Chains A and B, each alone.
Chain A
Amino acid sequence: MLVSAFYAGLLYFALTDAPSWAELSEMGQAGLLWPVAWAHVTGLPVAAAVVTVLYLTGALAAAIAPGHRLGRALAAFGMLEFTALHYSAGKIGHGTHLWLLAAIVLIFLPDVGRSPGRRERQSYLNVFWTAHALILLTYSMSGLGKLLGALRQASQGQITAFHPQAMALHIADRLTETGSRSPVGLWLVDHVAVSWPLMLGTIYLQIFTFWSIFRPSLLRLWTGGLIAFHVATYWVLGIRFAPPILLLAMWGLASPFLPSQTPLKVMLTDLPIAGFVIKKWLKSPSVSHSMP
């Protein structure tokens, strides 16, 4: 069901992205990415039309028959080509990268037939789990980047991501660079007491995102946190990352691995680092005696 929903979402993106083929056909040929290097031969107008048709056809085929590998492969290939052309000419953008990575992994879903056995179902879930884990891993890499960046800057005596002004500097730098305005961003720049904990919380959330795929009790909480993070970056920095929100919500909030109920105590003790401290605290005689 979630795989079908994935390809329905992909078809929606293909349809909403399709009108940009006209813009792509007028793009300069300098800086084409490797999957669309052939556009040097055909020219941009032909290449833009071809990749748009490929993207639409593949997404439609996979949405109609998500159980067929050929359709899924065509969908991934079409998306790879379209995304490569869209992000050519030095353009920066990663809005649909997570969908593309997931589409590539989902090609390898096994054919389970009408009445799959236990092993077939496990194999199917393994591929699905890996696609989800791959998405969550990118957030942990982002958190890791902030941690390594902070270590490097600390060694050079510079302000790091853990400094109270770090988020204010990020916001100010981004808004001045892009010439965009954000009332929420401006407010946060002037209220470090709010922006500092948000920055520290973001780093914690990102670093341990990958952890949540191994702790189903935390998956819903972490998914909610990541969605809130994307909404916040839009309001504060003007960075719109809508496609990942849909993917996170679909797979994180409706995951087949989610427990039906998660007691608060389990959730708290499963938290990375903090959970270890909470577990110790709960085991301490003063708390365990007072608990019923």
Chain B
Amino acid sequence: MQTPAHSIPLCNSSRNSTFAYRRQQGWLAAVLVVQLVGGLAVLGAPGQEVFPLYSWFLFALTPEQVRTRAEVRLLELDGRAPGPAVALETDRELVSVVQAPTVVRLARDLGRACAAGNEVEVRRLRQTLEDNFIHRPARYELVEVSYHPIERLHGGTEQTRSVRQFDTKVP
């Protein structure tokens, strides 16, 4: 029995197409693996991110009942005290609601850098904070605040400890 002339090229083409298809399936699966493994790998990076790879570990840790965190509080702005010192992230003139979590994170990182005595990191974080959120001549304080989140939400008390004061001119 004679084989039709067109059957051999068709068979090769089909084999090539199957190979290309399998190869595509392989790299598409690799995309998902990179997202999963890469996401876990960047957990130790600042902000859990090496852009655009992010861990997606959002709200992974439940806040403790006694919460201790660093806060940046403005003491003077343009040479004047702006009333009772409040956390920078709640000052709606300087920081919007959308920007507030960024300031919270910068304050946390500044607190960690101060505790570790890492002056290079302190300078870098201050510059980011001052260039993007304070803009004007100011004196501000890094404080450590301890509170119960639910009680604080209902107007409860908090304990504060001054860590360090800064002027906006970064040396």
A148 touches B (CB below 8 Å)? yes
Contact digits for A132-149, partner B, Cβ 8 Å, 1 yes 0 no: 011001110110111011
Given A105-B31, A166-B62, A170-B63: A28 touches B54 (CB 8 Å cut-off): no
Q: Which of B2-10, B76-84, B149-157, B159-167 contacts A (4 or more CB under 8 A)?
A: B149-157
Q: Which 3 A-B pairs have the closest CB atoms?
A: A28-B131, A179-B90, A145-B57
CB–CB A177/B104 < 8 A: yes
Chain A residues 18 to 62 lying within 8 A of chain B, measured CB to CB, are 27-31, 33-35
Closest A residue by C-beta to B47: A92
Contact digits for A226-246, partner B, Cβ 8 Å, 1 yes 0 no: 000000000000100000000
CB–CB A158/B153 < 8 A: no
15 A-B pairs in the complex with CB atoms less than 8 angstroms apart: A30-B132, A89-B131, A90-B132, A91-B99, A137-B36, A138-B56, A141-B57, A145-B56, A150-B62, A160-B62, A165-B150, A178-B90, A179-B87, A180-B100, A238-B97
Chain B residues 18 to 39 lying within 8 A of chain A, measured CB to CB, are 20-21, 24-25, 28, 31-32, 35-36, 39
Most buried by A among B17, B25, B56, B104: B56
A279 touches B (CB below 8 Å)? no
Bound CA span A158–B62, Å: 9
Find chain B residues with CB under 8 A from A94 CB: 54, 56
CB–CB B62/A170 < 8 A: yes
A68 touches B (CB below 8 Å)? no
B168 touches A (CB below 8 Å)? no
CB–CB A177/B57 < 8 A: no
CB distance from B21 to the nearest CB of A (A): 6
CB–CB A91/B67 < 8 A: no
B117 touches A (CB below 8 Å)? no
Find chain A residues with CB under 8 A from B47 CB: 90, 92
Bound CA span A130–B27, Å: 10
Closest B residue by C-beta to A149: B60
Chain A residues 160 to 193 lying within 8 A of chain B, measured CB to CB, are 160-161, 163, 165-166, 168-170, 172-173, 175-180, 186, 189
CB–CB B35/A101 < 8 A: yes
Given A30-B131, A159-B64, A161-B62: A130 touches B149 (CB 8 Å cut-off): no
CB distance from A277 to the nearest CB of B (A): 27
CB–CB B57/A142 < 8 A: yes
Given A127-B28, A173-B149, A177-B101: A89 touches B132 (CB 8 Å cut-off): yes
A258 touches B (CB below 8 Å)? no
Given A34-B51, A145-B60: A29 touches B131 (CB 8 Å cut-off): yes
Task: Say whether chain B's binding surface is mostly helix, strand, loop, or mixed.
Answer: helix
CB–CB B58/A133 < 8 A: no
CB–CB B97/A84 < 8 A: no
Given A92-B101, A126-B25: A153 touches B131 (CB 8 Å cut-off): no
CB–CB A28/B132 < 8 A: yes
Closest A residue by C-beta to B170: A30
Contact digits for A114-139, partner B, Cβ 8 Å, 1 yes 0 no: 00000100110011011001100111
CB–CB B58/A142 < 8 A: yes
Bound CA span A238–B97, Å: 9
Find chain A residues with CB under 8 A from B20 CB: 123
CB distance from B12 to the nearest CB of A (A): 14
Contact digits for A271-285, partner B, Cβ 8 Å, 1 yes 0 no: 000000000000000
CB–CB A170/B59 < 8 A: yes
Bound CA span A101–B77, Å: 41
CB–CB B56/A169 < 8 A: no
Bound CA span A127–B28, Å: 7
CB distance from A91 to the nearest CB of B (A): 5
Find chain A residues with CB under 8 A from B28 CB: 126-127, 129-130
CB–CB A168/B89 < 8 A: no
CB–CB A149/B21 < 8 A: no
Other A-B pairs, 17, CB within 8 Å; known A27-B131, A141-B39? A30-B124, A30-B128, A35-B51, A90-B105, A94-B56, A104-B52, A126-B28, A138-B54, A145-B55, A148-B60, A153-B61, A159-B65, A169-B149, A169-B150, A172-B152, A173-B63, A178-B97
Closest A residue by C-beta to B51: A33
B75 touches A (CB below 8 Å)? no
